[in-house]
Structure 1
Amino acid sequence: MKYFYVSKVHGLELNRTLNKGIQVVDNLRLSTSRKRIEEKADDFFIELVGMLEYDSLLYGPYLYAEGEYNLDGEKNREDRLELLNYFMRLSQTLPNALWTIKDNSVKTELGFLYIYDKDKDLHLEQASVSSNTRASYFLNSHGENVDTNFTFDEVSECLKRYTLIFDQNTAELEDMETAGIVTTKANRIERFMYFLQSARTQSFLPNRISSYCTALETLFSTDNQEISHKMSERIARIIGKDFPSREKIFKFMKTAYSVRSSNVHGDKLHKKYRSVEKQSQISSELDEYVRQLYNFVTSDDEIGPIYLRDNQDELIQYFNKLTLA
C-alpha cells in the first residue's frame, strides 16, 4: 500500500511553477503542479474528498507527501489518522518559516491522507481517505487574510534557515503533549515560536499586541522586575543602529507595553490607541520588530548558542554587557 498526503496552502502566491516542488521538512514538499494531483486522484479519492475540495487542490500551491504504507504494521485505523496529523503538524513549518521573511497570512487548513493500493487495484476494505483540520488560522499583522507573493528564492532560503532549528520530533506529539513540553522542557526559541503562533491567530489587535509582547519576553526577559523598561532598552540596543533609531524603538516598545497592560488587566485603552487604525499600525510595526529580533537571535554567532543552551546566567551577562558597555 501507499500513502499520499495533500493540503491546500492558502494566502501564498509564488512567482514560478513548482513541479516536484521544494522540500519543506522530512518528505513534505511544496508544489503547484496540477498534474501531480490529477495523477493521484481517482474516482474513489474524488468521491470521498468532494468535488469542491478537489477543484480547490488543482489550483495554486499545496503541500504533499507520499511514501510506502505498512499495512501489516497497522494496529487499527487510528494509525492512519495519526499519520495524517503528523503531516498536518509538519505543514505548519511552511507558514512559520515564511513569517521570518515578511508579514503574511499563509496557512493550511484542511488536509487529506489517501491510503491506496500500489497498482490502483483498490480493495475498498483497505483503501481510505482521511481528513482533518488544524486550529492555527494565521492572519497578517493587521488581523486580515491577504494573498502574499513570495519568490522561489525567498521560500527556499527561509525554509533552509528555519529547519535548522526546527525540532521535527515535536511533530510526532499530540497538541496536549506539545503544550506540556513548552512549559517544562522547551528552550527560549521554542517557547517564543509557541507564543508567536498564538499572536498570529489573533484578529483582535490588542490581544495580538499582548501576545507579541509575551513572545518577546521569552527571548529578552530574565526576571520580573521593571519588565517593560528592560525589554524596551534591550530591544532598542539590539536593533537600533544609532541613538535616534534606538530612542524611537524604545518609545515605541513603551507604547506597545502600555496597550498590553491595559488589555490584559481589562482596562480601557488610552484614547490615543482606541482606533482600529492606530492599533493596526502598532501591531504591524511590532510584528516587524519581532521578526528582526527573531532573525537576529537565530543567526548571531554569540547570542544564538546561548538561546539554544537556554543558559539564564549567560543571557544575563550578555544583556549586561549590551546595555552597560
Structure 2
Amino acid sequence: MDYITCCLRNLNCSEYKEPILLKSKDEAVFYLVYQEKIVLDVIQSYNFMEDFGRDSARKLAHNFFCYYQTEFSTTNLHHRKVIVNNQYMSAQKLSNALWFIKDNSVTPNFATISSDSQLEPQLIRRSVYYTDAGGGYNLADFNMKELHQAMKWYNLIDEISPKIEVEKVDLANSLVNMSNYLRFDIPSFQRAYYFLDLARKTEFLPGKITSYISILESLFAVKGENTHKVAERTANFIEEDESDRYTTFKAIVNIYKVRSDFIHGSEIKHSTQQSLPQTSKELDSIVRRVLTKMYSKHPELNYKNKKDKKNTDTKNFEEVNDWFNQLAFSKK
C-alpha cells in the first residue's frame, strides 16, 4: 500500500469532525485530514522517519494535510516521483481554488509517498509560500460548504492547466515548473492563472500588485493606453451602478501609478508605502471578482492571439478587444 500526503500550512476548518473527501468531476481527489489515526500509518511506514525526520512527522501531526492511499504500491521509481509531484501540484491547485472563495495563504509545505512495503519514500519540498493579499502568512478558516465550493474552481483550474503524459514528465528539477509551459500563444485564461499563482507567491507587495495588474491586462486584451483601458474595462465588466464604475475606474488608475513606480525603479513615497497593504487587498478583491465572472460566465472570452481554425467558437485578441469596446458603449 502507498500513502500519498501533502502537508498544508495556514489551513483550518472549524467544522472538522472527520476526514473530508474532496471530489473533482464526481471523482475523489484526496481527503483533507487533521489529527487522524492515519497519520501514524504514514510516519510509521517504511523509512519515513529515517529519511524525513521528526520535524516532518510533527508537521503532519499538527497541520491539515491532503491524503489518499492506493491498495497496491507501485515499484517504478519514476512513477513514484510523478505521483508525489502530482500530489504537490494538486495541493497548489487547491490553494488557488480556495482563493476564489476568499483571500488566504494556504501553502503546500511538502508532499510524500511512502509505503508499507520496503520501498524508499519520496519527498518534495519547496521554499515557496503563498501569502494573503496583504503579504501575510495567516491561518485561514474555511467551513465545509466553502471547501466543497472550492472544488468547482479546482475543476476549472485543472481544465485550463497543461496536461502531460506521465512518461514525459521531466523531474530533473523535482517539480514540473510552470515556466516550461509559457509559450507565445497560450490562452488568456491560462496566462491569467499563472500570474495569479505568481502574485500569491510573493510577500513583496509592489510585485504582487504588478502580477495582479498583469492578470487584468491578459484578460482584457489591452495593447496601448493600458492604464485607461484596463481601468475602464474592469469597471464596465464588474460594476452595474455608474458611481461604482467610476470608483473602480479611479482605483485602478491610482494602482497603476504604484505599479509604474515599481516597474521603472522609481522611489516609492512613504505615504504610498504605508498604504500598500490596503491597496493590494483592494486590488485582490477586484481581481477575484473579474476572474470569477470571466471564468464562470464568459468562457468564450478565453482567447488566443491567433484564432483556432479548428474551433470556430474561439476568439482571437482583436475579437475580444472589440467585445470590450462594445461593452464600453453599452454602458454609456
SS at match of 2:104: coil
Partner of 1:27, secondary structure, is: strand
Cα deviation for residue 149 of structure 1 reads 0.8
Provide Cα deviations, 1:261-295, integer angstroms capped at 9, x if missing partner: 110011112454132xx011100100010101100
Compute the TM-score of the two structures, normalised by the length of structure 1. 0.86
Question: d(CA) in 2 for partners of 1:263 and 1:232?
Answer: 19
Q: Which residue is 2:55 aligned to?
A: 52
Cα distance change of structure 1 residues 39 and 177 upon mapping to structure 2, 3 Å threshold: closer
Moved more, 225-234 or 80-89: 80-89
Q: Show CA shifts across 1:304-324 (max 9, x none).
A: 223164532331232011101
**1:290: which partner in 2?**
287
Any conservation in 2 of the 1:187–1:310 contact (CA below 8 Å)? no
Asked if 1:142 corresponds to 2:142, the answer is: no
Give the secondary-structure state (helix, strand or coil) at the position aligned to 2:94: helix
Alignment partner for residue 70 of structure 1, among 74, 81, 98? Answer: 74
Whether the 8 Å contact between 1:24 and 1:30 is mirrored in structure 2 is no
Per-residue deviation, 1:169: 5.1
TM-score by length of 2: 0.85
- Once the two structures are TM-superposed, the CA of residue 210 in structure 1 deviates from its matched residue by 1.1
Per-residue deviation, residues 45-82 of structure 1 (Å, max 9, x unmatched): 333332232122123311112223332xx2xx344223
* Structure 1 residue 31, shift from structure 2 partner: 2.2
Unaligned runs of 5+ in 2: 304-313
The reply to whether residue 314 of structure 1 matches residue 319 of structure 2 is yes
Offset of residue 11 of structure 1? 0.6
Of stretches 180-189 and 9-18 in structure 1, the one that deviates more from structure 2 is 180-189
What's the CA shift string for 1:14-34, capped at 9, x where partnerless?
Answer: 022253422255633322251
The within-5 A match list for 1:164-175 is 164-167=156-159, 170=163, 173-174=169-170
DSSP 3-state at the match of 2:202: coil
More displaced stretch, 198-207 vs 32-41: 32-41
Whole-Å separation in 2 of the counterparts to 1:307 and 1:285 = 25
Indicate the residue corresponding to 1:28 in structure 2: 30
Closer, same or farther: CA 176–88 of 1 in aligned 2, 3 Å: closer
Within a 5 Å distance, the mapping from 1:236-315 to structure 2 comes to 236-270=235-269, 272-275=271-274, 278-300=275-297, 303-307=298-302, 309=314, 311-315=316-320
Aligned to 2:82: 82
Q: Following TM superposition, by how much is the alpha carbon of 1:185 offset from its aligned partner in structure 2, in angstroms?
A: 4.7
Say if 1:197 and 1:177 are closer, same or farther in 2 by CA, change over 3 A. Answer: closer
Residues 7, 65 of structure 2: 8 Å contact kept: yes
Distance 1:212 1:57 in 2: 32
Indicate yes or no: 2:185 matched with 1:188: no
Identical positions, percent: 25
1:165-217 Cα shifts (integer Å, max 9, x gaps): 42365476556664242323531111111111111112121111111111221
Query: 1:156 maps to which residue?
Result: 148
Q: Which amino acid in the other structure matches residue 182 of structure 1?
A: L
Distance in structure 2 (CA, Å) of the matches to 1:281 and 1:103? 13
The separation in 2 between residues aligned to 1:260 and 1:35, in whole angstroms, is 49
Aligned partners of 2:8, 2:101: CA distance in 1, in Å?
17
| Worse overlay, 161-170 or 60-69 | 161-170
Cα separation, partners in 2 of 1:90 and 1:280, compared to 1, 3 Å: same
Which residue pairs with 2:122 in the alignment? 130
- Is the Cα–Cα contact under 8 Å of residues 263 and 269 in structure 1 kept in the other structure? yes
Deviation at 1:115, TM superposition (A): 3.1
- Partners of 2:4 and 2:114 within 8 A in 1: yes
Query: How far is the alpha carbon of 1:162 from its aligned partner?
Result: 3.0
Counterpart CA distance in 2 for 1:135 and 1:24 is 28
The letter of the residue matching 2:290 is L
**Whole-Å separation in 2 of the counterparts to 1:138 and 1:203:** 8
- Give the letter for the 2:207 counterpart: N
Asked if the contact 1:10/1:106 (under 8 Å) is kept, the reply is yes
- State yes or no: 1:230 paired with 2:248: no
Say if 1:101 and 1:161 are closer, same or farther in 2 by CA, change over 3 A. same
What's the secondary structure of 1:50's corresponding residue? helix
How far apart are the structure 2 equivalents of 1:7 and 1:222?
39
Question: For residues 87 and 18 of structure 1, what CA distance do their matches in structure 2 show?
Answer: 23
